[in-house]
Amino acid sequence: MKPRACLEIALICLVFLNGFAQADENAVAKYSDYLPEQLLALSEDERRDSVPMMFSGAANLAISPAGNLIMQANLNSLMYPGFADYEGAKRAFQADMGEEPTGKLTVWQIHTLGYRASRLNMTGVSFFPFDFGGILGENWAIVEGTVEMIDEKIGYPINHAKIDCSRAEGTCKYRMIVMELPDEKSWSQTYQVGDLTDETYRITRWEGQLIDAVSMNSSACRTNQLSFNFETQEFFEIARNKTAGDCETILGTTLPRLEKPRVSRIVDGREIISAEFNAIFDETFAFLSSSFRNRVKALRARADDK
Give tens-digit pLDDT for 15-51. Answer: 333 333 444 889 999 999 999 999 999 999 999 999 9
- Whether 132 and 174 map to the same domain: the answer is yes
Residues contacting residue 107 through CB under 8 Å, at least 6 positions apart: 31, 32, 34, 35, 36, 39, 54, 55, 58, 59, 62
The overall average pLDDT reported for the chain is: 88
Give domain status of residue 25, yes or no. no
String of b and e for 145-173 (b: at least 16 CB within 10 Å)?
Answer: bbbbeeeeeeebbbbbbbbebeeeeebbe
Residue pLDDT, tens place only, 106-121? 999 999 999 999 998 8
d(CA 195, CA 20): 26
Question: Is 50 found in the same domain as 169?
Answer: no
Report if residue 220 sits inside a domain. Answer: yes
Q: State how far the Cα of 167 lies from the Cα of 189, in Å rounded to an integer.
A: 44
Where would I find the H helices in 32-145? 36-40, 44-49, 53-63, 67-77, 86-96, 107-119
Is residue 135 a contact partner of residue 119, using CB atoms and an 8 Å limit?
no
CB neighbourhood size of 190 (10 A): 13
**58/173 same-domain check:** no
CATH number at residue 144: 2.40.160
Residues 88, 134, single domain; the answer is no
Return the pLDDT at 218.
67
Q: What is d(CA 118, CA 287) in angstroms, rounded to the nearest whole number?
A: 11
Q: Is residue 129 in some structural domain?
A: yes
What residue type is 51 in one-letter code? Answer: V
pLDDT in tens, 183-221: 877 777 888 899 988 999 999 999 999 999 999 986 678
CA–CA separation, 176 vs 242, rounded Å?
A: 22
The answer to whether residue 91 sits within a structural domain is yes
Q: Do 134 and 236 reside in the same domain of the chain?
A: yes
Asked if residue 256 and residue 157 are part of one domain, the reply reads yes
What confidence tier does 14 reach under pLDDT thresholds 50, 70, 90?
Answer: very low
Asked if 219 and 247 count as a contact pair (C-beta separation under 8 A), the reply is: no
pTM, 2 dp? 0.76
297 within domain boundaries? no
- Same domain (yes/no): 143, 252: yes
Residue 79 near residue 90 (C-beta atoms within 8 A): no
Considering the domain architecture, whether residues 39 and 148 belong to the same structural domain is answered as no
- The whole-angstrom separation of Cα 28 and Cα 185 is 12
pLDDT at 211: 98
Q: 113 and 143: one domain?
A: no
Helix spans in the chain (H): 3-31, 36-40, 44-49, 53-63, 67-77, 86-96, 107-119, 270-287, 290-305
Q: Are 93 and 145 part of one and the same domain? A: no
Helices (H) and strands (E) in the chain, counts: 9, 11
| pLDDT(147) > 70 | yes
pLDDT confidence of residue 11 = 34
113 shares a domain with 131: no
Instruction: Please report how the helices 107-119 and 67-77 are oriented relative to each other, as an axis angle in degrees rounded to 10.
Output: 50
Question: Residue 282 domain-assigned?
Answer: no
The neighbour count for residue 203, using CB atoms within 10 Å, is 18
What is the distance between the terminal CA atoms of the chain, rounded to a whole angstrom? 62
Question: What is the rounded CA–CA span in Å between residue 106 and residue 112?
Answer: 10
Does residue 111 contact residue 97 with C-beta atoms inside 8 Å? no
pLDDT over 50 at 7, yes or no: no
Count of the separate structural domains present in the chain: 2
Average pLDDT for 139-152: 95
Instruction: Assess if residue 72 is contained within a domain.
Output: yes
Which structural domain range is residue 42 located in?
Answer: 32-119
Residue 15 has a pLDDT of 32
User: What are the beta bridge partners of residue 235?
Assistant: 228
Question: What pLDDT digit, counting tens, does each position of 217-243 carry?
Answer: 866 788 899 999 999 999 999 999 988
With respect to residue 283, please indicate whether it lies within any of the assigned structural domains.
no
Same domain, 169 and 247: yes
Per-residue pLDDT averaged across 65-70, rounded?
96
